[in-house]
Structure 1
C-alpha cells in the first residue's frame, strides 16, 4: 500500500520544520520524515556535564534576520557566555597571555587587510554570486590570502588561529570567499562578524526553537524514518523508506547536507553540480568538545592553530566549583570528544593548571545523517555549485543551511532556506498565502 501526501519533507532539522510550518499555513498536507530519533538535525541541545549543552549549532545574533525573526515570533530569551577575563594565544611556539581587547587589537590590522575588498566581491550577501569576476577570487584558499599579507609571526599566528576557529578546518582547505561571505553579512565589519558568529545563544537552548517551530505546525512528523530511495517524474515522486513503506507526494523537499545528499538513491539522478559538490565534500571537518574543569576559574579564551588538536577553547559556563569550556579542533580525526586524556594534553598548549573532570561531544563527521559540521566551502565551490544546489529538479526542492544565501552554515541559513523552498512550492502548487 502506498500512502499519499501533498509534500514530503526529508529531514526534521530547522529547514525542514520551517518548510512544513509555512506550507501548513496554506492548507498543504505535509509529512516530515526524520531518520534520527529526535528533531533538530545539526541543532541539538543535550543534558551533559550538569548543563544543557549544544552539541551542534549554537550562536545567533540580531544581524541574522531570519532566525532573529523566529526568536521574536516565539519570545525566546537570549543569553551569552561570561566575557573572558584572560586570553591566551601563540606567537610561533610561545604562549602569550593578555586580554580579549589586546588580542582583538593584535589581529585587527591583518583582518582589515585580508577583508578589505569584501564589499567589492560580495556587495549583496543575499546574492552571493552576483559580482562580476567573483570566480577570480573563488579559487583562492583562505591560507593563500592570509600568507600573502606578510604579517609578523605573532600577528600571523593570531589571525590564523581566529580563522581556524571560524572555519572548523585547515585553512588550506577553506575558500577565501567563505570568509568574505561571513563578513559581507555584517556589512564588511570583521568585529561584528566575530560577535555574530560566536557570542549569543538561546537561554533555554536551541531545543526551545526546535520545539517552538514543531509545535507551530500540524504536519505529520515521523522520527526514526529513514528514506532509502526516491523515484520522481513530472507528476510527483514516490519515496521508499528503509522499512519498506512507500509514500507518493506531489512535491519533495530534501534537506540533506552537502556531504550527504549525493549518497541518496534518486531516480532520475540529481544534477552533476549537486553530485560533484557532495563528492568533493565541504572544507569543515572539525570537532566540538565540551570540557568540565574544576573551579573556580576566571573566564578565558585561547587560540592555537590548525596544527594542534584543539585550536580554540573558551569558558562557556561558570559554577561555584567548576566551569565548562567549549573547544574546537580543525580535524575530527585528530581528537575524540570523549577522550579526556587527549583533551588534557591538548589544553596544555596554553596552560597546565586546568583539572579536567569530564569531556563530551558528538562526532558529526562520523554521524551517518550529517557527515559534516557547519558549511564552509572549498575553493571554487561557491561559484560552481551554489546556484545549482538551490535549484529545484522537477518536483524535488532543496533546503538546508548549506544552501542559504546570507548566513550559510548557521541556524539563520536554515530558516532562510526553509522560507525560500516553501515559497517555491506554494507557487508551483498554486496556493495562496
Structure 2
C-alpha cells in the first residue's frame, strides 16, 4: 500500500468514526473550547472507542477498522474498551473537524527546540523578573491550606509558605500528596480511578534515510528520527527488556537502529501515565470537580484544562495562565483611577 493509499484509507475511516451527526461531528461539537454547548453531546459521554466501532461496524471494512484503532489508540494510550470516544471527538473538533489538520496538529508538527528547551525558556523568562525562587528535585509530601497562609512540606522536611498555591500534580498521582483540608472526594475518586494513558514513548535513531517518508525527522548526521508509542493495548517495557522493544520496532519494517531513547510514563512515580485520556463518563462526572479550587489552592494541569487542547502542552499553558490571573487579581493591589 502506498502512502497516498494509506492516507486515503485513514481519512475515510476516521471520517466514518466521527460522523455521529451526518456532519463529521460539527453539529454535535461545533465549539471544542465549549464542548458542552450542544447538549446532544451528552448522549456520547459514556461511549468508549469500542462502543463506537461496534456501532458503525456494518460501515467498516477490516482495513478501516484497523486504521481507526491504530490512530485512536496511539492518541489515547489505552485500550478500545477503556478509552473515551468523547476525548477523540474533542481532538477532532479542535483540529477544525478536518483529517489533514488533525494529523498535522497531533502527529506532524512539533516544537523545533523540543519541549525541554521550551520549558527552559519559561524558566529563564521568570528568572529575569527577579521574583522567582525555585527548588528542583524536591518531592512534595504535604500541602496545608487550613490557616491564613498555605504551607508545602517536602520529603526532606523542608517547608515553603505562600498566600496561594497552584497545584500542578497530575491526575493519576494526585492522591500521593497529603492535603489538609482533605481533597474533595470527587478529586480523590477521579485520581484513584486514573485516566487510561499508559504510554511508553520510544525514540529510534535509524540510518535509513528512506524512513523519513514515515514523517520522520532528519538528524544533523543525516540519520532519521522515528517515534514509536507502546500503548496499554499492547504494552512495551523497554526499561525491562530493550531487546524485546527493538524486535517490536523492527516488526514494522527492517531498519538499522543506531540508538533508542525511551521513557516509560506508566512507571514514572510523578506521573503514572502520559497525557490525559479519560475513561468513558469521566469528563461529565469529574471535570468540574478537578478544576475547582480548594481555599488557597488552585489546581492547574493539562489533565483537566478546559476546552480543545486538554492533554496538550497548550492546555497546560492555558490552565496555568488562568490560575495565575486569578491569583494576580486577588493579591495585586487594585489601581484606582482618579476621576478628578
TM range (shorter): 0.7 to 0.9
1:242 to 133, 155, 172: 155
Q: How does 1:130-279 map to 2 (within 5 A)?
A: 130-150=37-57, 151-217=60-126, 218-233=131-146, 235-279=148-192
Tell me what 1:107 maps to. 10
How far apart in 1 are the matches of 2:194 and 2:261? 26
Q: How many residues matched?
A: 323
**Residue segments in structure 2 that go unaligned for 5+ positions in a row:** 336-340
TM-aligned CA deviation for residue 125 of structure 1:
1.9
Higher helix share: 2
The superposition leaves residues 190-236 of structure 1 with CA deviations (integer Å, 9 ceiling, x where unpaired) of 32122101111222222332122111113111112221111212623
> Where in structure 2 are the equivalents of 1:297-312 lying within 5 Å?
297-301=210-214
The answer as to whether partners of 1:286 and 1:332 remain within 8 angstroms in 2 is no
- How much has 1:348 moved relative to structure 2? 4.1
Give 3-state SS (helix, strand or coil) of 2:119's partner: helix
Q: Deviations over 1:13-45 (max 9, x none)?
A: xxxxxxxxxxxxxxxxxxxxxxxxxxxxxxxxx
SS where residue 327 of structure 1 aligns?
strand
Q: Does 1:368 align with 2:269?
A: yes
Deviates more, 1:234-243 or 1:247-256: 234-243
Offset of residue 417 of structure 1: 0.5
Report the CA distance shift for 1:141/1:219 in structure 2 as closer, same or farther (over 3 A): same
The residue number in structure 1 matching 2:284 is 383
Indicate the structure whose relative CO is greater, using CA pairs within 8 Å and at least 6 residues apart.
Answer: 1
Decide whether aligned partners of structure 1 residues 334 and 159 sit closer, same or farther in structure 2, where only a CA change above 3 A counts: closer
- Change beyond 3 A, Cα 1:194–1:427: same
CA distance 1:414–1:269, change in 2 (3 Å): same
Deviation at 1:113, TM superposition (A): 2.2
Distance 1:384 1:255, change over 3 A: same
1:61-93, CA deviations, whole angstroms, 9 ceiling, x for partnerless residues? xxxxxxxxxxxxxxxxxxxxxxxxxxxxxxxxx
Q: 1:268 to 1:298 in 2, by over 3 A?
A: closer
Q: Please tell me whether residue 426 in structure 1 is matched to residue 339 in structure 2.
A: no
CA distance in 1, matches of 2:208, 2:142: 51
Cα-to-partner distance string for 1:356-407 (whole Å, 9 max, x where unaligned): 3332211111111111111111101111111111111111101111121220
Q: Secondary structure at the match of 2:30?
A: coil
What is the aligned partner in structure 2 of residue 64 from structure 1? none
| CA gap 1:321/1:238 in 2 versus in 1, 3 angstroms | closer
Farther off after superposition, 185-194 or 137-146: 185-194
Distance (Å, rounded) in 2 between the aligned partners of 1:294 and 1:188: 36
TM-score by length of 2: 0.88
Q: Can you list the C-alpha shifts for 1:242-291, whole angstroms capped at 9, x where unaligned?
A: 11122222111100111011221001111122111111111111211112
How is 1:291-302 mapped onto 2 (pairs within 5 angstroms)?
291-301=204-214
CA distance in 1, matches of 2:29, 2:222: 47
Correspondence for 2:338: none
TM-score (norm 1): 0.70
Q: Where in structure 2 are the equivalents of 1:394-433 lying within 5 Å?
A: 394-405=295-306, 406-431=308-333
Q: Counterparts of 1:122 and 1:350 in 2: how far apart (Å)?
A: 35
Which protein has the bigger strand share? 1
Please give the alpha-carbon distance, in whole angstroms, between the structure 1 residues aligned to 2:115 and 2:252: 30
Assess, with a 3 A threshold, how the Cα gap between structure 1 residues 236 and 333 changes in structure 2: closer, same or farther: farther
SS class of match (1:368): coil
Alignment match, 1:329: 230
Unaligned runs of 5+ in 1: 1-96, 302-313
The aligned residue for residue 28 of structure 1 is none
Work out whether 1:127 is the aligned partner of 2:34: yes
Displacement of 1:341 in angstroms is 1.9
